[in-house]
Structure formats: structure tokens, C-alpha cells
Amino acid sequence: MSQPANSSRRVAFFGGSFDPPHLGHLAVARTAREALGLEAVLFAPVGSQPLKPVGSTASFEDRVAMTELAIAGEPGFAISLADAPRSSGGPNYTLDTLTYVRKELRPDVTLYCLMGADSFVGLRLWHRAVEIPFVAPLIVASRPGQSLSDLKALLPPGLTMGPSEDLNRAEGNIGKSDIEVRCCSLLGQTGNVAGQRTLFYLLPGLNVEISASAIREMARARSGSADGNEAAGCELLPDAVFDYVRSHNLYR
């Protein structure tokens, strides 16, 4: 794990394929950092996602390299290899990774799990999904117009959404930025989380609609076009990431 997390008190784990990392990922992380007073955001490219058996298009090494380029110079942003490919060749489960990261951090550090709206939509399909918010409270970047009520219907079975909590009373200076954060509590109703409560944070809609698959498709179309259209997709990626994709002939 990178150094910024070792001296921070409020850390968000941001996992994903990052295939490639794009401006939408950065927008989510920046908003969460400002809105919740995060001192570190750990970008963690995943080795093998159970729900994507075909796997990522770019190699893990390329995705790590691109993510490092994407976050370079961003205060508090760091790479985590906690979700690297397993030596057993097995899938990476978010619950296991968060549990590992939690053990690696000091006891006084608060760990969160940051995700976009697309990831939250599929959360109920994740391995032991009901337990994840109790290891690391969820921070979800909503789509424009999306409310807590909208997300309530997407919760994994065994979780219910409770009354809103006052942010300042709940966690010190969270909520003191100009970014509106909606907050509620989640109640576990099954298994070893029955009766437990944890907080849930919803970031405002970011008006950032970027699809990594669309970027990859543009790269393929670029390589097959007569003029090459070398600039295709560049406005969706950090400059350094676009240069890496082009120089390493990725997604062709």
C-alpha cells in the first residue's frame, strides 16, 4: 500500500478495472475527497473480477501503470495493490480485499469503500455483499437526479436503509465542504451483521458520463480507420493515460 494511507485518518478504497482509468474516475475521487474530508484515496486496479469472467482487456501491469499516471500529482491519491491477481488464480472478492486493507491500517483510521453508481447497481450480486458496508462504509457517487430512495431499492437483500444521520454529529468535520452529501444509516438484518448499523454516504450527481468500454471501442475504431484518427477518445482520458494507450497500442 502506498505511503499516504499510513499517515491518514480517513481513507477511501476505490477499486475497479481501470481499463483504462478516465476522467470520470478522477471526478468521483476528487468529489469524495473534498466532500468527506478524505486524506487518502487508494486506487486499486483489480486482478480478476468474478462478475467479469472474460477479464480485463489490458493487463494488470498496464492498468496499474495507467492508473499511476492518471493520479500523479493529485493530493492524497495513491495506488494500492491489495486487489492484485491472486497467486491461486482465484477471483478477487471486495469483502476479502477490504478486510485485508482494514487490518493493514491503524485502528484509528476510518476506511470507506468508494464506488460509482454503476458499481452500486450491481452490488447485490457481489460476494457476501451485505457484509461489505460494515467493513468499510459506502460512499456512492450518484447519477444526476438520483436520490437515496432510488438506491434503497438496489440494496442487497438483508440490508435496509434507515433515517438520515447528522454528518457533523456522526463523524466530526465530515460535511463541512460546500458539496452536499446525503447520509443515512444501513441496518444489517441477516447473518453476522444482524442488528448492526453503519453509515452510507451519497455524493451529488456529477454529470460525468464516461464509459471505459466506449473508450476501448473508440480505440479499436481508430486503429481500423483509414486516417487513424489518433485523437479519438483523448478528451475522456488524462493526457498521460492517452499517451500510454497510444504508445503501447492498447485496445486495438
With residue 169 as reference, give the H or E element that holds it: helix 167-171
CB atoms within 10 A of CB 191: 10
Q: 175 and 223: one domain? A: no
Amino acid making up residue 208: V
Q: 43 and 146: one domain? A: yes
Q: How many distinct helices (H) and strands (E) make up the chain? A: 9, 8
Instruction: Extract the C-alpha cell encoding 234.
Output: 483523448
Find the farthest-apart pair of alpha carbons in the chain and give their distance in angstroms, rounded.
62
Range of the domain at 235: 212-247
Number of folded domains that form the chain: 2
Region 92-118 average pLDDT: 95
Is the pLDDT assigned to residue 157 strictly greater than 50?
A: yes
Q: 53 and 152: one domain? A: yes
The pLDDT assigned to 55 comes to 65
pLDDT digits (tens, 9 = 90+) for 58-79: 999 999 999 999 999 999 999 9
pLDDT digits (tens, 9 = 90+) for 17-65: 999 999 999 999 999 999 999 999 999 999 988 877 666 789 999 999 9
Judge whether 252 lies within some domain. Answer: no
Is the pLDDT assigned to residue 232 strictly greater than 90?
A: no
Give the Cα separation of 133 and 121 in Å (integer): 15
* Top-confidence residue, 241 or 171: 241
